[in-house]
Amino acid sequence: MKKELMFSSPAFRKNTTRENIPSRIDKIFSKSKSEEENSENLTLALIENAELKSKLEKLNSGTKKDLMKRIEELEAENESLKQGVENEYSTQE
What separation, in Å, do the N-terminal and C-terminal C-alpha atoms of the chain show? 97
Domain residue ranges in the chain? 2-92
**CA-to-CA dists, residue 67 to 23, 58, 59, 75, 80, angstroms:** 64, 14, 12, 12, 20
pLDDT tens, position by position, 72-86: 999 999 999 999 888
Residue 44 has pLDDT above 70, yes or no: yes
Q: What is the mean pLDDT of residues 84-89?
A: 84
pLDDT band for 1, please (50, 70, 90 cuts): very low
